[in-house]
């Protein structure tokens, strides 16, 4: 698959690398989409030990972002960023496919 479909920002890559180092895991962030949340779909993040054979992989600064094929349909063209604000720090998905989102930023609809 074309690696340009997803982007992991440098700040998100740095955060994944720091978390992975603390946990003694590879610097691989898995983004998946599940039904639910306040707008219909919700993003789920987790560290992965290895990419699956059919995953789409994007790499920034040696850190990999992996997405399974069924989630990729909903997040194709996304940028995954790490944002720190007064409200806390979190991974944020800038999704051009989302027709609507919610206030918390972790849920969307298409």
What domains can you pick out in the chain, each with its CATH number? 3-105 (2.60.300.12)
For the purposes of burial, counting CB atoms within 10 Å of the CB of 59, is it exposed (0-12), middle (13-18) or buried (19 or more)? middle
The secondary element (H helix, E strand) that includes residue 90 is strand 88-94
Which pTM does this prediction carry?
Answer: 0.84
Q: Do residues 76 and 5 lie in contact, with contact meaning Cβ atoms separated by under 8 Å?
A: yes
Q: What is the pLDDT of residues 41-69, one digit of tens each?
A: 888 999 999 999 999 999 999 999 999 99
In this predicted structure, what is the pLDDT of residue 96?
Answer: 86
CA torsion 5→109→101→84, rounded to 10°?
-40
In the predicted structure, residue 86 carries a pLDDT above the cut 70 = yes
Q: Is a pLDDT exceeding 60 seen at residue 3?
A: no
State how beta strands 79-85 and 63-67 pair.
unpaired
């Amino acid at each position: 698959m074309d690696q340009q479909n997803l982007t992991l920002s440098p700040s998100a890559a740095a955060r994944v690398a720091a978390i992975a180092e603390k946990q003694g895991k590879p610097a691989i962030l898995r983004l998946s989409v599940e039904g639910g949340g306040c707008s219909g779909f919700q993003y789920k993040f987790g560290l992965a030990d290895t990419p699956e054979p059919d995953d789409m992989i994007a790499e920034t600064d040696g850190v990999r972002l992996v997405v399974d094929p069924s989630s990729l349909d909903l997040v194709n063209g996304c940028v995954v960023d790490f944002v720190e604000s007064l409200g806390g720090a979190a991974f944020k998905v800038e999704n051009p496919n989302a027709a609507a989102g919610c206030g918390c930023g972790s849920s969307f609809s298409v």
